């Protein structure tokens, strides 16, 4: 198994997407990249801890490659907006790839460059690529949020449209 730690705005949205990819064994919402040990959601939301809302993905690289995971990452959020995704604003919602080793760093840089060269986005990609120095799981009520709250207004208005877009664009990576 391999791990990936990614921040692409609200972790509820990102978790819902990546949990549907074949080869993904688990997805956990959490916090990474900040200076406070074991931060709470309220602390992270303040924007003062330096953490990003992230997901930690455990996946089988024989089924889905890290490269493809990053293509989904770049294809399911706006990597050109600094510290914002939609209505979510602040450093905690930044676009960031936290690499676990030098191989992941090289792949992240290559995939980012590939996406830039394709000219998919009008604006420059601002996604940070940083070493993973810390990670803390989010509180229990954040785990599997979409699966446990599909009728919540945020899920219907924000997550459902993102899931539809993901399923259309990355049909070949969906779990059966």
pLDDT at residue 28, as a whole number: 98
pLDDT at residue 86, as a whole number: 85
* Cβ-Cβ contacts under 8 Å for 69 (sequence gap 6 or more): 4, 6, 18, 21, 57, 59
Query: Known catalytic residues?
Result: 10
Which tokens sit at 173? Answer: 């990576």
Mode of pairing for the β-strands spanning 2-8 and 24-32: unpaired
What is the domain extent for residue 74?
Answer: 2-173
The pLDDT tens digits of the residues spanning 54-70 come to 999 999 999 999 999 99
Domain count, the chain: 1
CATH of the domain at 69: 3.30.1060.10
- Beta bridge partners, 160, equal none
With H, G, I as helix, E, B as strand and everything else as coil, classify residue 51: coil
Alpha-carbon distances, residue 148 vs 16, 89, 97, 140, 155 (angstroms): 11, 25, 26, 11, 10
CB 87 within 8 A of CB 81: no
Instruction: Select from 119, 143, 169 the least CA-distant residue to 41.
Output: 143
Q: Strands, DSSP E only, in 60-94?
A: 84-85, 88-89
pLDDT at residue 87, as a whole number: 84
The structure tokens 């993904």 sit at: 24
H helices within the chain, ranges in order? 11-18, 41-45, 66-75, 102-118, 145-148, 153-154, 160-169
Which tokens sit at 158? Answer: 């924000």
Per-residue pLDDT in tens (0 to 9) along the chain, 176 residues: 999 999 999 999 999 999 999 999 999 999 999 999 999 999 999 999 999 999 999 999 999 999 999 999 999 999 999 999 988 899 999 999 999 999 999 999 999 999 999 999 999 999 999 999 999 999 999 999 999 999 999 999 999 999 999 999 999 999 98
How far, in Å, CA of 137 to CA of 157, rounded? 26
């Amino acid at each position: 198994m391999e791990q990936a730690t990614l921040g692409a705005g609200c972790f509820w949205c990102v978790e819902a997407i990546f949990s549907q990819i074949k080869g993904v064994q688990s997805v956990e919402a959490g916090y990474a990249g900040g200076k406070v040990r074991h931060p709470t959601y309220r602390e992270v939301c303040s924007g003062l801890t330096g953490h990003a809302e992230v997901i930690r993905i455990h996946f089988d690289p024989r089924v889905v490659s890290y490269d493809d995971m990053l293509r989904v990452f770049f294809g399911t959020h706006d990597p050109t907006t600094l510290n914002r995704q939609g209505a979510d604003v602040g450093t905690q919602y930044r676009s960031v790839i936290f690499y676990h080793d030098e191989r992941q760093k090289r792949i992240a840089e290559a995939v980012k460059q590939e996406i830039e060269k394709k000219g998919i986005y009008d604006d420059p990609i601002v996604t940070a690529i940083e070493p993973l120095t810390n990670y803390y799981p989010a509180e229990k009520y954040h785990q599997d949020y979409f699966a446990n709250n599909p009728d919540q207004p945020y899920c219907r208005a924000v997550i459902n449209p993102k899931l539809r877009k993901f399923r259309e664009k990355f049909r070949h990576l969906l779990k059966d």
